[in-house]
């Protein structure tokens, strides 16, 4: 006899960035705390913020975080399709953790017959192996122009007959119109699946909302499942780089601590590599896009990017290479991560046109390193050891660090500063040690390395830095779960899932 598939619960939104990922993360921990074997699922994710599973598969960073909140192992079935934008119209398609092709939007839409069976099989697998699957939608289900090729919103809800919680961002204003309009635009059979509304990111007196909540239920027959408070510093990685727009910092304001300038590339990837820096009270992180906002940073970071050559061109057009040279002359440290590491080298060769239509590009020339792009892609979790003891890495020789790699291209460097445990070079530095490049994502999540680097910068630049105590990521999940417990209609969740909380 075939076992009954596990129940599902789905969170959709009235638009992007309404907080769907955070809500799913909190729900995963809420149900995990109740002893439920719960798994997250997002059929299709569009993000350059990716993570690597322990089998070497690539999934959206949000689903990796949600799995951690659920206390289960991240796996490719949790995000069977990942679209990694390379331009405004083309994305690399990752299917079940591995590259399928780079396609423009029209070509990708024609591949639905290929991707849909993989998506449904992945969900079915998770349902067979868990007690509950919490599904995250993408954007809005009310985009009627996308309905015929939908795989991530109401199409997957109908496949699984998933009860849907529809979330709106009340902090932006107009949330009741957004919720009602979304409900009104979906098909009748889809409306029937919407079983609750969530008012997310609320600040104020909730009692003032009662008349509008009653009107919304009268018009739709759908109750409000909760009013979730605003989390200004939830310490959980964001899914999309849109979140960086709320982190603008004035480069001219006085600051006694360490000033860090991070280049916000148009195709920035894995930007949560820098989240640990923002947890240090004596560190100010600024996301820089123009020469005018450069300031006088103590540390400059070139983060990862999905399109290294294109973003290197952008950097030069913005004249940020000139500002970088100026800062190096003033004694600033420089760290390049993944694509940023490749940029710091002498040359970037692209004979197979993996990165662009060109054969390559000159690098910034700060490291004795040369990169050659090829069609192969390295995705793996890695452990490494520091091999230098100067500059940014002073006092760190022999210290082990861990993280993950996601990159096309191989880099040959004249000076190894960070090596895999087998001795293979993973990063290099210049002769002073103050310019460093590395392929290891998550480098700054290593506490000893991060705080030693910052202490070295502070000593050189005469800045204030007192290391923060270690951060417990589990506490962030617990705080989020408790907030949802206090703000959501738990009896409604129990009715929708058949699981007690």
E-assigned strands of 221-342?
224-229, 258-263, 268-269, 283-288, 299-302, 304-305, 333-337
Q: What is the pLDDT along the chain (501 residues), one digit of tens a residue?
A: 567 899 999 999 999 989 999 999 999 999 999 999 999 999 999 988 899 999 999 999 999 999 999 999 999 999 999 999 887 788 889 999 998 888 887 888 788 888 999 999 999 999 999 999 999 999 999 998 888 889 999 999 999 999 999 999 999 889 999 999 999 999 999 999 999 999 999 998 888 899 999 999 999 999 999 999 987 665 676 665 455 555 556 666 778 899 999 999 999 998 889 999 998 999 999 999 999 999 999 999 999 999 999 999 999 999 999 999 999 999 999 999 999 999 999 999 999 898 888 899 999 999 999 999 988 889 999 999 999 999 999 999 999 999 999 999 899 998 899 998 888 889 999 999 999 999 999 999 999 999 999 999 999 999 999 998 887 888 989 999 999 999 999 999 999 999 998
Q: Is residue 260 part of a domain?
A: yes
Q: Is residue 433 part of a domain?
A: yes
Q: Do 230 and 253 belong together in one domain?
A: no
Instruction: For Cα atoms 245, 48, 375, give the angle at the middle one, nearest 5 degrees.
Output: 150
Q: Is residue 1 part of a domain?
A: no
Q: Do 129 and 256 belong together in one domain?
A: no
Strand partners, 285: 260
Active site residue 438: no
Q: Do 255 and 383 belong together in one domain?
A: yes
pLDDT at 253: 73
pLDDT at 235: 65
User: Quick check: 164 and 195 in contact, CB under 8 A?
Assistant: yes
Pairing of β 8-13 and β 164-169: parallel
Q: Is residue 466 part of a domain?
A: no
Q: Is residue 27 part of a domain?
A: yes
- Residue of 53, 54, 111 lying closest to 83 (CA atoms): 111
CA distance 425 to 440: 11
Cα-based distances in Å from 144 to 147, 149, 150, 163, 202: 5, 10, 10, 20, 28
* DSSP conformational letter for 471: P
**Coil, strand or helix: which one is 193?**
coil
The tens digit of pLDDT for each residue in 447-476 reads 999 999 999 999 999 999 999 888 788 898
Instruction: For Cα atoms 361, 362, 363, give the angle at the middle one, nearest 5 degrees.
Output: 115
Q: Do 16 and 72 belong together in one domain?
A: yes
User: Quick check: 150 and 116 in contact, CB under 8 A?
Assistant: no
Q: Do 151 and 252 belong together in one domain?
A: no
CB-side neighbour CA atoms (13 Å) of 271 = 23
How many separate domains does the chain show?
2
Q: Do 400 and 455 belong together in one domain?
A: yes
3-state secondary structure 322-389: HHHHHHHHCCCEEEEECHHHHHHCCEEECCCCCCCCCCEEECCCCCCEEEEEEEEEEEEEEEEEECCC
Q: Do 457 and 319 belong together in one domain?
A: yes
Q: Do 442 and 417 belong together in one domain?
A: yes
Q: State the CATH number of the domain containing residue 334.
A: 3.40.50.880
Q: Do 491 and 381 belong together in one domain?
A: no
Q: Do 139 and 22 belong together in one domain?
A: yes
Q: Which of 338, 407, 438, 445 is catalytic?
A: 338
Q: Which of 178, 407, 441, 445 is catalytic?
A: 441
Q: State the CATH number of the domain containing residue 217.
A: 3.40.50.300
pLDDT at 63: 96
pLDDT at 423: 85
Q: Is residue 3 part of a domain?
A: no
pTM score, two decimals? Answer: 0.88
- List of residues 6+ apart from 245 with CB closer than 8 A: none
Q: Do 231 and 257 belong together in one domain?
A: no
Domain range for 357 is: 241-461
pLDDT at 132: 98
Q: What is the CA radius of gyration of the chain?
A: 23
Q: Is residue 468 part of a domain?
A: no
Q: Is residue 347 part of a domain?
A: yes
Q: Do 436 and 329 belong together in one domain?
A: yes
């Amino acid at each position: 006899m075939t076992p009954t598939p596990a129940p599902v619960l789905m969170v959709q939104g009235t638009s992007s960035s309404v907080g769907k990922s955070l809500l799913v993360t909190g729900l995963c921990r809420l149900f995990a705390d109740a002893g439920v074997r719960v798994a997250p699922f997002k059929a299709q994710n569009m993000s350059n913020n990716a993570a690597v599973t322990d089998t070497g598969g690539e999934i959206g960073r949000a689903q990796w975080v949600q799995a951690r909140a659920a206390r289960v192992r991240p796996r490719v079935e949790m995000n069977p399709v990942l679209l990694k934008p390379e331009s405004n119209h083309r994305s690399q398609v990752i299917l079940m953790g591995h590259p399928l092709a780079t396609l423009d939007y029209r070509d990708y839409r024609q591949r639905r017959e290929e991707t849909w069976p993989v998506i449904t099989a992945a969900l079915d697998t998770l349902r067979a192996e868990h007690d509950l699957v919490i599904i995250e939608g993408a954007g809005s289900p009310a985009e009627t122009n996308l309905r015929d090729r939908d795989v991530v919103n109401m199409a997957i809800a109908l496949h699984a007959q998933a009860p849907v919680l529809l979330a709106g961002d009340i902090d932006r204003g107009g949330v009741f119109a957004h919720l009602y309009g979304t409900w009104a635009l979906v098909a009748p059979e889809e409306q029937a699946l919407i079983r609750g509304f969530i008012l997310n990111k609320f600040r104020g007196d909730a009692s003032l909302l009662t008349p509008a909540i009653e009107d919304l239920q009268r018009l739709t027959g759908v109750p409000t499942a909760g009013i979730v408070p605003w989390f200004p510093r939830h310490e959980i990685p964001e899914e999309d780089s849109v979140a960086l727009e709320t982190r603008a910092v004035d480069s001219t304001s006085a600051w006694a601590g360490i000033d860090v300038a991070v280049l916000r590339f148009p195709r920035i990837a894995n930007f949560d590599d820098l989240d640990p820096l923002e947890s240090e009270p004596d560190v100010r992180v600024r996301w820089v896009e123009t020469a005018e906002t450069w300031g006088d940073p103590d540390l400059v970071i070139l983060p990862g990017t999905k399109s290294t050559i294109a973003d290197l061109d952008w950097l030069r057009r913005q004249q940020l290479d000139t500002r970088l040279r100026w800062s190096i002359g003033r004694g600033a440290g420089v760290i390049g991560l993944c694509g940023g590491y490749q940029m710091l080298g002498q040359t970037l060769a692209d004979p197979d046109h993996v990165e662009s239509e060109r054969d390559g590009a000159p690098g910034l020339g700060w490291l004795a390193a040369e990169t050659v792009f090829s069609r192969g892609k390295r995705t793996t979790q890695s452990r490494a050891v520091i091999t230098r003891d100067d500059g940014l890495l002073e006092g760190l020789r022999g210290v082990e660090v861990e993280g993950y790699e996601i990159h096309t291209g191989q880099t040959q460097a004249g000076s190894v500063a960070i090596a895999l445990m087998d001795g293979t070079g993973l990063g290099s530095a210049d002769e002073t040690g103050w310019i460093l490049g590395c392929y290891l994502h998550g480098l700054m999540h290593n506490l000893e390395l991060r705080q030693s680097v910052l202490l070295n910068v502070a000593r050189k630049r005469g800045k204030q830095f007192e290391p923060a105590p270690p951060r417990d990521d589990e506490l962030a999940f617990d705080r989020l779960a408790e907030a949802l417990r206090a703000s959501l209609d738990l009896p409604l969740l129990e009715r929708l899932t058949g699981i007690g909380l």
